[in-house]
Amino acid sequence: MSTTGLDVFDKTLQTTHIWLNDIGEIVGPDKQRCYHALRAVLTTLRDRLTVDQSAHLAAELPILVRGVFYDGYRPSDAPSAIRSQDEFVSVVAQRFGNIGPVSPRTSSIAVFKTLQRHLPQPMIEKVKGSLPQEIRVLFDVEPDTGPGAHQDTAASRSAAGERRPQDWTGAGRGATPGGSTDRNT
């Protein structure tokens, strides 16, 4: 039986739940945390890609995930100047908002693993090829799935060379550094 009355919407809801479950295998089963991980990592990746690369990647995403991908997008600002893994992970951390303890590095790995599992390999290779080597390695490393792996602690950030800004304005839902907020979040 159809949940929404439209097969296309039912399929994208089902596919999105599968993706969130895949992310949850690494970051933990909290669907809200999985959604925020998906959103933070995809929008950071999107902003790092050129407009054309973003459009090609978006075409491969499920409809609902594609909406998340494009939410708040400013093509005139693309691509961002993120060059290092530290910068990438820092932007992911900023986009999480206040959802509780979470490792932006582990979340990045989880989302990249999910993309690799569900998207065509040639697309993944194109995305990886457009990223600096330091960011690209996040596609290929195995996540730490031990106890507390999904938690963002000062010790885990320090050990991974990550920094999470602790004081930035607008620390609510959809906030970005400098206090601006994404529309429609």
Q: Could you say which architecture CATH assigns to the domain 7-157?
A: Orthogonal Bundle (1.10)
pLDDT at 98: 75
Greatest CA separation for the chain: 50
Is residue 68 within 8 A of residue 39, CB to CB? The reply is yes
Mean pLDDT of 146-167: 42
CA dist., res. 166 & res. 115, Å (int): 29
Position 6 confidence tier, pLDDT thresholds 50, 70, 90? confident
Is the separation of the CB atoms in 164 and 104 below 8 Å? Answer: yes
Q: What is the pTM of this model?
A: 0.77
Mean pLDDT computed over 64-77: 96
Q: Is 181 helix (H, G, I), strand (E, B) or coil?
A: strand
Report the percentage of the chain scoring pLDDT > 90: 69
- Write down the domain spans for the chain: 7-157
